[in-house]
Amino acid sequence: MLTEIGKRVKDASVKLAVASTDDKNRILKAIATALRENCDKILEANALDLKNGRENGMAESLLDRLMLNVDRIESMAQGVEGVIALPDPVGRVLWETERPNGMKIQRVSTPLGVIGIIYEARPNVTSDAAALSIKSGNTAILRGGKEAFNSNSAIMDVMRDAIAKEGYNPDIVELVRDTSRESANALMKMNGYIDILIPRGSAKLINAVVQNSTVPVIETGAGNCHVYIDEFADIDMAVKIVNNAKTRRISVCNTAESLLIHKNIAELALIAIKAKLDEKNVILYGDEVACAICPDIEKATEEDWATEYLDYKMSVKIVSSVDEAIEHIRKYSTNHSESIVTDNMEIAEKFMNSVDSAAVYHNVSTAFTDGGEFGFGAEIGISTQKLHARGPLGLPQLNTFKYKIYGDGQVR
Amino acid sequence: MLTEIGKRVKDASVKLAVASTDDKNRILKAIATALRENCDKILEANALDLKNGRENGMAESLLDRLMLNVDRIESMAQGVEGVIALPDPVGRVLWETERPNGMKIQRVSTPLGVIGIIYEARPNVTSDAAALSIKSGNTAILRGGKEAFNSNSAIMDVMRDAIAKEGYNPDIVELVRDTSRESANALMKMNGYIDILIPRGSAKLINAVVQNSTVPVIETGAGNCHVYIDEFADIDMAVKIVNNAKTRRISVCNTAESLLIHKNIAELALIAIKAKLDEKNVILYGDEVACAICPDIEKATEEDWATEYLDYKMSVKIVSSVDEAIEHIRKYSTNHSESIVTDNMEIAEKFMNSVDSAAVYHNVSTAFTDGGEFGFGAEIGISTQKLHARGPLGLPQLNTFKYKIYGDGQVR
């Protein structure tokens, strides 16, 4: 069955890859309209998922991720419309040259082909991922979690109907209607049908895809992010940045999980930061020096340094130099986002050049690692790997390139 | 043992990633000099490999690939010096912007970290790959074929000694001194130590790496390349291009393996092309129409369309439109290099936009898919995959990027 889907979606990719911007936007407009018009149908399917979830004892936080309502469907439709407004990434001349023999070489952006996305409980990913794929000229095979099966199926049916009614091939997007572990594993081996696989969800899901996929993968997500308060930091700024990086939204991947403070400023900085974090009841887990400064800080274990809490919790370590901070980050970071707070430009540059993460900040909160905040528009995730793309995966990152070479009979 | 190598080479990557261009060039100069000075030592080791090869009945063509002499070692040294002359790819500002909140974002090129390279019988890869890795700020773990074990070990020892004598950490390059299948398999699972794995060699080797590696892979190599002679082609140009694309060097991956001709020009074009290819005794395997035009063309089987001959052989198919040519290429190509010969710009653009290969040519021989010919300098291979880089893998393609964000206390 998966091969059949693979074949349909791959065949559909041929035309979509060369579709005009107008055509792609027309499809997206039709999808947005259809989502609104079929709100009741989608909510009905979602109610079934929620009922099943409750019966299976699903946690409230997961039920909340799964839950749709009129507002959330409206925001899904607006999300699709937001993609219409973004520039078409396909066909950009990225570089060109003329060689001594007269041939002209262009590097031109082109779609990847077929994108596979494996995700978990959020049904809005179904329309978000479809919209980004279509606008970037890629067809998509989506495989959501079993908890959201009815919601995802309803959303996909609505989208495919809308695409077909506009006169286009609905196979530009399809949902794998088999939510068994086998279907996910089979998807990971579909070389020749899928050009790139993007897992969206827990560290466990991402790791399973990396371990098992023979299709090229872009890793997204896991973020054990650090803020380092240097000895030349402005303490007020440090307090503001740590508070924002930790508490703005605890559940997102760019949330700071670990605080490093230079020993020469440790007492002043830690007391001020802790006072601010106490307002939100953030629990700190510190090394010996941190615990000596603030005795009500809990003692950190080795495990804490590597933990992405996604909670009102943060580890704290006092370091004796920027080098020790860099070393600690190298050891424990997931290479997502790290920030240094300092007034010393030289130390800042050392930190930013040596820390090997997708985004490195100087005097800025890690909360900005986000396609929208970078000015890229909607994104399909944050890449924490080095191949192809790092950081926000927006429309341009869902393209590859080819070389077009023009001549008049050149031979070697 | 591999983990121990992995740890050493990864640790060495920290300093090399931020090394100055001068430092890297100094290392390369020392390597080139040492290769020349230790020519005898390397040839002695190579003689042992050749002796073993002969005793094991190795084919002459493989023995030739394995064989080193003074000229070949000189050209290895010159290859390393050629990399000195190339621009440093690290630290380029690829894009920058200032956001409304005043923070400045830069996308800056950075090394990938540790590159793993699995290759076969050519010992010159040992110095070529080391030089490209070092100049691009990456450390490298090399694992050559067992046939070249003594040669590779000698070359690596010479390089590491030269690096150490210059006062740098020799662990910026290392050779896996275990040529068992297990060592290759273990390398493919070294996530956390190796950032990217590049197989260089046969389609079989590449496929084994793609199937088994959990480390991200860049596929290189296999090329079932096509030349399409459109009905509006200049026949003289067609003859010149097909001859060059097929016979310039039959053993390289951008050699044309399949010829497609529009039916309206088939008789004229095929007879002229065949007359030229006959001079080099190229055997043609044709479809029915081709065989009807030239009865001494052998009949092609389904297998021929998918075959990368790497020999004086070529398949020929007569098609009734550019669309049929595109469809045939989509079905059988390895997406390396394809060329259209036509005077019709509209048909040329259709072909070049629809054919999904790393390099698509209009009125140019496929022989130009080569880092040097594109003006990139030395390359580590030709990528035929869509993720990260397509076409020649030169120094810039051995880098990733990070975002550096500068601010003065920005929070969200």
DSSP structure string for B149-161 = HHHHHHHHHHHHH
Nearest CA to CA, how far is B200 from chain A (Å)?
18
CATH 3.40.605.10 maps onto chain A at 2-220+388-406
Closest in A17, A364, A400 to B390, CB measured:
A400
ipTM associated with this complex: 0.92
d(CA A385, CA A217): 9
Locate tokens 């440090």: which residue?
A: A238
pLDDT in tens, chain B (412 residues): 899 999 999 999 999 999 999 999 999 999 999 999 999 999 999 999 999 999 999 988 889 889 999 999 999 999 999 999 999 999 999 999 999 999 999 999 999 999 999 998 789 999 999 999 999 999 999 999 999 999 999 999 999 999 999 999 999 999 999 999 899 999 999 998 999 999 988 888 888 998 899 999 998 878 999 999 999 999 999 999 999 999 999 988 899 999 999 999 999 999 999 999 999 999 999 999 999 999 999 999 999 999 999 999 999 999 999 999 999 999 999 999 999 999 999 999 999 999 999 999 999 999 999 998 998 888 998 999 899 999 999 999 999 999 999 999 999 9
Least confident of A15-29, A60-74, A202-216: A202-216
Nearest CA to CA, how far is B64 from chain A (Å)?
24
Local confidence band at A201 (pLDDT 50, 70, 90 cut-offs): confident
Mean pLDDT of A298-304: 97
Assigned CATH topology for domain B225-370:
Aldehyde Dehydrogenase; Chain A, domain 2 (3.40.309)
Examine the pLDDT at A39 and tell me if it is beyond 90: yes
| pLDDT of res. B365 | 98
Q: Does A104 lie at the interface with B, CB-CB under 8 angstroms? A: no
The strand ranges marked E within B305-411 are 313-319, 337-341, 359-364, 382-383, 391-392, 399-410
Local confidence band at A246 (pLDDT 50, 70, 90 cut-offs): very high
Nearest residue of A to residue B248, measured between CA atoms: A412
Structure pTM?
Answer: 0.91
Q: Does A303 lie at the interface with B, CB-CB under 8 angstroms? A: no
Q: Does A407 lie at the interface with B, CB-CB under 8 angstroms? A: yes
CATH 3.40.309.10 maps onto chain B at 225-370
Q: For chain A, count helices (H), then strands (E).
A: 15, 16
d(CA A74, CA A354): 44
Quick check: A337 and A43 in contact, CB under 8 A?
Answer: no
Asked whether the CA dihedral B329, B311, B207, B138 is positive or negative, the reply is negative
Q: Does A195 lie at the interface with B, CB-CB under 8 angstroms? A: yes
| pLDDT of res. A166 | 96
A405/A60: higher pLDDT: A405
Examine the pLDDT at A319 and tell me if it is beyond 90: yes
d(CA A159, CA A38): 10
CATH code, residues A225-372: 3.40.309.10
Q: Does A319 lie at the interface with B, CB-CB under 8 angstroms? A: no
Q: Does B271 lie at the interface with A, CB-CB under 8 angstroms? A: no
Local confidence band at A291 (pLDDT 50, 70, 90 cut-offs): very high
Average pLDDT score over chain A:
95
CA–CA distances in Å: residue A193 to residues A188, B181, B198, B200, B256:
10, 29, 22, 24, 25
Candidates A57, A221, A59, A52; CA nearest to A148 is A52
Nearest CA to CA, how far is A212 from chain B (Å)?
7
Asked whether the CA dihedral B130, B133, B138, B140 is positive or negative, the reply is negative
Mean pLDDT of A373-394: 91
Asked whether the CA dihedral A144, A149, A152, A153 is positive or negative, the reply is positive
CATH 3.40.309.10 maps onto chain A at 225-372
| pLDDT of res. A148 | 96
Cα of B33 vs its chain's centroid, Å: 26
- Which chain A residues are closer than 8 Å to B368 by Cβ? 103, 405, 410, 412
| pLDDT, tens only, A59-100 | 888 898 899 999 999 999 999 999 999 999 999 999 999 999
Local confidence band at A1 (pLDDT 50, 70, 90 cut-offs): confident
Please give the order of strands across the beta sheet that includes A196-200.
Answer: A173-175, A139-143, A114-119, A196-200
Residues of chain A with pLDDT > 90: what percent? 89
Contact state of A374 with B105 under an 8 Å Cβ cutoff: yes
| pLDDT of res. A252 | 87
Assigned CATH topology for domain A2-220+388-406:
Aldehyde Dehydrogenase; Chain A, domain 1 (3.40.605)
